Amino acid sequence: MSQQVIAIDGPAASGKSTIAALLAAKLRIPYINTGNMYRAITMYALDSGIDLETKCTNEVFAPLLDTLKLDYIQTASGDYELQVNGILPGLKLRSPEVAAFVSPVATLSFVRDWLKDLQRDSAKPGLIVMEGRDIGTVIFPDAAFKFFLTATPEERARRRLAQDGETFDGATLESVARDIAERDRIDSSRAIAPLKPAADAEIVDTTQMTINEVIDYLARRVNNECS
């Protein structure tokens, strides 16, 4: 039986998070942003004083994750947000400091296995939208729906630069494009669960589409199959 999951994967700044959140709201189902889980682990390590330049290893993260609890909760506004040890970190997860280390942290097998169990458990109650890099390939290879969102590197850099608080002061289109290309390189070339479309995923190039056009398209695809 296929898993009751709408998997949305794709590269950095492809619009996945915005689209996945709005699609889930439109369908009135929960939304899990797995990139935020990797960001929360990275933030927790930095806040715990770990020097991730030199100490980004499974041995460092194994004991650290014993003291970390991550939960997706529905807030009063109806949005789904990630709680980190009972606290909502909000935009801190999107800070450039966290972004600078999250890709190396996401290469660690201990971190990926720890999150895999948590992510699989989240899908038990019913249909959800789950967004990330490996949802259709590794976490839910039998997801009911698999979409892989892309956009050209130039368009992704433009979108990232337009997002408040997500780039260092003085960032330019060129510097943001370089950072995104480096994240793509690490995410796509890592040994475990590299970024790539599942063989049976539908690839949606959003370069020329508005957010609403993408959401309407995905909702139609889901509703057609469910009705």
Closer of 180 and 215 to ligand DC (Cβ): 180
Closer of 159 and 215 to ligand DC (Cβ): 159
CB of residue 223 vs ligand DC: minimum separation in angstroms?
A: 25
CB of residue 19 vs ligand DC: minimum separation in angstroms?
A: 12
Residue 208: strand, helix, or coil: coil
Q: Label residue 196 exposed, middle or buried (CB < 10 Å: 0-12, 13-18, 19+).
A: middle
Question: Which of 116, 48, 39, 113 has its CA nearest to residue 82?
Answer: 39
CB of residue 200 vs ligand DC: minimum separation in angstroms?
A: 18
Beta strands in 17-139 (DSSP E): 31-33, 70-74, 80-84, 128-132
Closer of 39 and 159 to ligand DC (Cβ): 39
CB of residue 227 vs ligand DC: minimum separation in angstroms?
A: 29
CB of residue 179 vs ligand DC: minimum separation in angstroms?
A: 11
Binding residues for ligand DC, per CB under 6 A?
12, 34-35, 38-39, 102-103, 106, 132-134, 183, 187
CB of residue 132 vs ligand DC: minimum separation in angstroms?
A: 2
Q: CA 174, CA 55: separation in Å to the nearest integer?
A: 29
- The three state secondary structure string of 136-185 is HHHHCCCEEEEEEEECCHHHHHHHHHHCCCCCCCCCCHHHHHHHHHHHHH
Residue 47 CB: number of other CB atoms within 10 A? 12
Closer of 56 and 106 to ligand DC (Cβ): 106
Q: CA 141, CA 5: separation in Å to the nearest integer?
A: 10
Closer of 182 and 213 to ligand DC (Cβ): 182
Closer of 102 and 129 to ligand DC (Cβ): 102
Q: Which two tokens stand for residue 5?
A: 């999951």
Q: CA 10, CA 175: separation in Å to the nearest integer?
A: 21
